[in-house]
Amino acid sequence: MAGLIVRRFFQLILLLIGISFLVFTSMYIAPGDPAAIIAGPTATKSDIDAIREDLGLNDPFLVQYVRYISGVLHGDLGYSYQTKQPVWEAIMTRFPNTLNLAIASIMVAVIIGVVAGIISAIRQNSWLDVSSTVFALAGISIPNFWLGTVLILIFAVNLQILPVGGLDHPFYTVEGMKQLILPAITLGTGSAAMIARMSRSSMLEVIRADFIRTARAKGLKERTVIWVHALRNAMIPVITVIGLNFGFLLGGTIITEQVFAINGVGRLMVQAIAARDFPMVQGSVLLVATLFVLVNLIVDIIYVFIDPRISYD
Amino acid sequence: MKKKHFFSMLVFLFMISAVLAGCGGKSASNSGGSSSQGKGNAAQELTYATTSDVVGLSPILTNDSVSAAVINQIYETLFVRDPKTMEIVPHLAESYETPDDKTWVIKLKKGIKFHDGTDFNAEAVKYTFDKLRDPKTAAPRASLLEPVESVEVKDDYTVVIKTKYPYGPMLAALCHTNAAIVSPTADQKQDLMKQPVGTGPFKFVEWVPGDHITLEKNEQYWQGAPKLNKVTIKVVPEVTTAISMLQTGDVQFIDNVPAEQLSRLQSMKNVDLIKKEGTPVYYLGFNMKKAPMNELAFRQAVSYAINKEEYVKQLKGLGIQSNSVIGPKVFGYNEASENVAYSYDPEKAKQLIKENGYKGVKVKMLVANTANYMKMAEVVQAQLKEAGINAEIESMEWGTFLDAVKQGKYDLTFLGWANSTADGSELLYPNFHSDNVGTSNRIFYSNPAFDKLVEESRTNIDPEVRKQKLKEANEFLLKDAAVVVMNHGVVTAAVDKSVKGLEIDPTGQWSLYHVYRE
């Protein structure tokens, strides 16, 4: 296990250097001049030149990259071109919001997805199974911006039982939870659908296995057979899907953050890209990549607990 | 059985929400009125929703409209334009005189203090302007005071500004947000981008980047404390969400209302819509470096082919039709110029196209992918097709668009200018003078005769002479069909009915000083 963690750690560093180079290069060659955007439409050539010099944008590509990466290796993600705020600080003020939203959404997704998946597996081809399939299809197909806007119109504007948007109360307060409900449902539905499909197919495979027949033959209660013996064995692929989804959610959930006015990392990244705020884009991408790798590592570790046959030694 | 029951509930809930979603649109518009009544009428607090965050809170280091909106509540300028008459009047200044045409002696009001308790005086004015002009500052709008040669302190409350040449729009420049006066003591002690200190009616409390800014009333404000105790500027990126918040009473004020949201806002009982003729201008520009755009006959044909009235109608009242480049709310406008432009005349267009062999010519129309420019492009594309010109639309995101335009990778494009100084010289010079080709002159227009007229309008301090020169320059552009004016802007705001006393400036800026809630 320790070997796995150490190996992954070194892989992570290499991965991040690779990613930073890719992002840096793509931002460098992408059209759009950060200085011109900062200066605004009314700026003259001298205004823009002064800003470009100030940001060090006149230096050759490699000089800029080496300067950046050596900063990163010393723990300095640099400063935003636009707001002059330290990148680390800007990300960290927003990350808790993204994290709260991701956790709430994955909870919604897991509860709905796993339950729906199992029920449709044990009641295969019943009307419950069919409606669960329809739900899954709808969950995957409905775009978040539409679902979010509709939920706002119903629950915030019409019924007035939940706030329209924002996330400015701590998640453990009643206000905070109320603010999380609609975005979590909006965001969780897609993942719930995927988890439901995966749970269903995995469960179908397992309940036909010999050991389940043995368990039933031994006279165990059906509830014990399904929720203890079958579920645990069906969970491996489901956990992979949950892990992947959670990784994506942590990467900032641009559209949901936009619709619900949540000040998260996804929105920060979009604004930074539009403003060609290179250090901010780099910083957020590195964070997202790190989180993604970490989540996958955790998933790999969970496998061992769920299925003792798996070992990394 | 229990499980089955649970799942049936889930399915039931989902169906209910689907049904509710179906009727959501209709019922949403009926419920507006009730909400705001429940939420503290008495509290003198106001929340304004903006679709993007401020870049920062220093007037010297920012040049975007959202930052300007907040900066205008915290800082003040020496002069302001009266939003009703558009005349320039002293504000932090008491009076001014011009002993010669390159010297501006400005007397300042006494007894005004910055929020940090230090005095507003001639030193502060000198400090601010010198910092703005200093190349080391790399101020985005340093060019505003480019004509200034020196700023001197004559006594505590008198500054003398000397210019390199007679500079006509001097006072208009001093009205601009970027020329707002900052506290020198505070600027040396802290970062004004994050902790602003000015003389304005509201004091800075906090800024949570990406989320909100809080301001509080300045009890010591020199014109008397404002009525609002607290102002929150909240970032709500999605305009439909902001409107929902306006409907539920979570916010009380939004501006820059998009045309497609007008009907929803009008149906909301708790909301007042404010509309006012504004200074922005939107135009179709020709790439003057390329043929056939550099041929007068082609530009005339395009001008004749475009039915601007038809386009303005589609803006549902959020646009003013005028042929003049200098709009009705901008210094230098002259009604007589309206008839100089080539108005819609499809027959003349077809004739010119036939005579000059432009029939079936293909042009690339480069468009920034915001709703208003896309609409312009689609309308113009259809109208040009009718006249016999095939325009192909290529749309791109703003940053990429600016780059492509700069490199001249287009035939026709659509541009806009906010005119935040509301001075005609500051529209014609950046947009069409050959000095600015490749930066703010994005159509590569270069004409010595035109340049001369614009220079004369800038380098004379007599308003009457300036008006005459601007009229001539404006008509020169129109006769040369250098651009086709699509529309002049209408500035808008939507406020909760409890909000009173809000006045929007034709430049789109506003002050919350006189605003209160009842």
B396-436 pLDDT, tens digit per residue, is 988 889 889 989 999 999 999 989 889 999 999 999 999 98
Q: Across the 313 residues of chain A, what is the mean pLDDT of every consecutive 10-residue run?
A: 82 87 87 82 79 86 89 87 89 91 93 91 88 86 92 93 88 89 93 91 90 88 85 86 88 85 91 89 89 86 80 71
pLDDT at position B151 is 97
pLDDT at position B138 is 84
- Asked if A115 and B138 come within 8 Å (Cβ–Cβ), the reply is no
pLDDT at position A313 is 66
Is A140 among the domain residues?
A: yes
Last residue of a domain, which of A87, A113, A129?
Answer: A87
pLDDT at position B434 is 93
Question: Of residues B6 and A283, which shows the higher confidence score?
Answer: A283
Nearest Cα of chain A lies from the Cα of B85 at a distance, in angstroms, of 25
- Asked if A160 and B248 come within 8 Å (Cβ–Cβ), the reply is yes
Do A155 and A240 reside in the same domain of the chain? yes
Do A82 and A124 reside in the same domain of the chain? no
Inform me whether the pLDDT recorded for B289 exceeds 70. yes
- Asked if A45 and B438 come within 8 Å (Cβ–Cβ), the reply is yes
CATH at residue A166: 1.10.3720.10
pLDDT at position B47 is 96
SS3 per-residue string spanning A191-259: HHHHHHHHHHHHHHHHHCCHHHHHHHHCCCCHHHHHHHHHHHHHHHHHHHHHHHHHHHHHCCCHHHHHH
Do A54 and A173 reside in the same domain of the chain? no
Do A82 and A106 reside in the same domain of the chain? no
Is B212 among the domain residues?
A: no
Average pLDDT over residues B226-254: 95
Nearest Cα of chain A lies from the Cα of B347 at a distance, in angstroms, of 37
Nearest to B31 among A44, A93, A157 (CB): A157
Is B415 among the domain residues?
A: yes
Do A65 and A181 reside in the same domain of the chain? no
pLDDT at position A45 is 78
Rounded to the nearest 10 degrees, the angle between the axes of helix A174-207 and helix A144-151 is 130
B470-479 pLDDT, tens digit per residue, is 999 999 999 9
* Mean pLDDT, chain B, integer: 89
Is B154 among the domain residues?
A: no
Do A241 and A127 reside in the same domain of the chain? yes
Lowest mean pLDDT across A65-79, B147-161, B240-254, B309-323: A65-79
- Asked if B135 and A112 come within 8 Å (Cβ–Cβ), the reply is no
Is B116 among the domain residues?
A: no
Do A192 and A98 reside in the same domain of the chain? yes
Do A263 and A123 reside in the same domain of the chain? yes
What is the C-alpha radius of gyration for chain A, rounded to an integer number of angstroms? 24
Instruction: Please name the residue of chain A whose CA is at the shortest distance from the CA of residue B431.
Output: A42
Domains of chain A: total:
2
Is B414 among the domain residues?
A: yes
* Interface A-B: count of C-beta contacts within 8 A: 182
Is A312 among the domain residues?
A: no
Is A42 among the domain residues?
A: yes
CATH at residue B419: 3.10.105.10
Is B270 among the domain residues?
A: no
pLDDT at position A306 is 79
Q: Which domain holds residue B323?
A: 278-489
Chain B residues with CB-CB distance to A32 below 8 A: 399-400, 402-403
Chain B residues with CB-CB distance to A260 below 8 A: 241
Residue B517 CA to residue B42 CA, distance in Å, equals: 7
Do A203 and A226 reside in the same domain of the chain? yes
pLDDT at position B26 is 33
DSSP B145: G
Inform me whether the pLDDT recorded for B244 exceeds 90. yes
Is A313 among the domain residues?
A: no
pLDDT at position B42 is 54
- Asked if A44 and B143 come within 8 Å (Cβ–Cβ), the reply is yes
- Asked if A258 and B400 come within 8 Å (Cβ–Cβ), the reply is no
Do A208 and A134 reside in the same domain of the chain? yes
Average pLDDT over residues B115-141: 94
- Cα end-to-end distance, chain B, whole Å: 57
SS3 per-residue string spanning chain A: CHHHHHHHHHHHHHHHHHHHHHHHHHHHHCCCCHHHHHHCCCCCHHHHHHHHHHHCCCCCHHHHHHHHHHHHHCCCCCECCCCCCEHHHHHHHHHHHHHHHHHHHHHHHHHHHHHHHHHHHHCCCCHHHHHHHHHHHHHHHCCHHHHHHHHHHHHHHHCCCCCCCCCCCCCCCHHHHHHHHHHHHHHHHHHHHHHHHHHHHHHHHHHCCHHHHHHHHCCCCHHHHHHHHHHHHHHHHHHHHHHHHHHHHHCCCHHHHHHCCCCCHHHHHHHHHHCCCHHHHHHHHHHHHHHHHHHHHHHHHHHHHHCCCCCCC
Last residue of a domain, which of A49, A70, A87?
Answer: A87
Question: For the whole model, what pTM was predicted?
Answer: 0.85
Q: Which domain holds residue A34?
A: 2-87
Is A311 among the domain residues?
A: no
Is B416 among the domain residues?
A: yes
pLDDT at position B119 is 97
Chain A residues with CB-CB distance to B4 below 8 A: 119, 128
Domains of chain B: total:
1
pLDDT at position A173 is 87
pLDDT at position A252 is 61
Is A96 among the domain residues?
A: yes
Last residue of a domain, which of A87, A120, A144?
Answer: A87
Return the amino acid letter for B261: Q
Which residues lie below 8 Å from residue B147, measured CB to CB, with a gap of 6+?
Answer: B163, B164, B165, B167, B170
Is A110 among the domain residues?
A: yes
Number of residues in chain B: 518
Lowest mean pLDDT across A233-237, B9-13, B80-84, B403-407: B9-13
